[in-house]
Amino acid sequence: MAVHLQIALDRMPLERAVRIAEAVAPHTDWIEVGTSLIKHFGMRAVTEVAAAAGPVPVLADLKTADDAVFEFTLAYDAGAASATVLGTAADATLDAAVRVAADRGTETVVDLMQTTEERRTALAARLPAHTVLAAHVGKDAQRAGGNPTDLLGDWRHGRPIAVAGGLTAADLPAFAGPDPVRVIVGSAVTAADEPEAAARALAAAAGR
């Protein structure tokens, strides 16, 4: 199975994010409006990136911790096809996020950053099989040597997962296999001298 690719846009002027989204859209399966971009520019960032992405679906990386109905509705109304909720949030918040997504025909991604193996296993057992579970190592943890593969366990099988945290084109072939995997890449594209060329190389590595 080909790896699915998601390119994350973060920590940049909105105008640059829009330009990169337009350039990389032909080479990726998803485009992510990162948390910092949303905090800086609000839902305008989601709307403008979604417009630039054309038919490519956009994820709003909200990292919702509470009040999922309100926050997810904001993201979907702004043009997002997916949004993230923290795996450390209360079960009621996770259930609300899944419910809103189902009502809107959109997607929920559960960010597993800072979760325990016990929590990851429990989430995989109780959440609908179509809910994406994202093994994510944040920027600060990456600097301490964290790797998203360290979060993966038997819970991953038979359901869609995503992986994120300092990944590059060289990492992508390792995720090919029978289970659907979405590999999220940010700075390997956005920090490149030529983001479109970097996205094209990622697409080739992902088997697109």
Tell me the mean pLDDT in the region 68-90. 98
Nearest by Cα to 27 from 52, 51, 62, 56: 56
The CATH code that applies to domain 4-205 is 3.20.20.70
CA 38 to chain centre: 14
What is the DSSP secondary-structure string of 26-75?
GG-SEEEE-HHHHHHHTHHHHHHHHHHHTTS-EEEEEEE-S-HHHHHHHH
The answer to whether the CB of 76 falls within 8 A of the CB of 104 is yes
The answer to whether the CB of 74 falls within 8 A of the CB of 100 is no
The answer, yes or no, to whether residue 36 has pLDDT greater than 70, is: yes
Which pLDDT band, with edges at 50, 70 and 90, does 205 fall under? confident
Tell me what pLDDT residue 68 has.
98
Which pLDDT band, with edges at 50, 70 and 90, does 145 fall under? low
pTM given for the model: 0.94
CB-based contacts of 160, cutoff 8 Å, min separation 6: 130, 131, 132, 133, 179, 180, 181, 182
Q: For strand 107-111 and strand 30-33, is the pairing parallel, antiparallel, or unpaired?
A: unpaired
Which pLDDT band, with edges at 50, 70 and 90, does 48 fall under? very high
CA distance 62 to 71: 8
Tell me how crowded residue 78 is: count the other CB atoms within 10 A of its CB: 21
Write out pLDDT tens, residues 175-197: 877 778 999 999 999 999 999 99
Tell me the mean pLDDT in the region 101-115. 96
3-state helix, strand, coil in the chain (%, to 5): 50, 20, 30
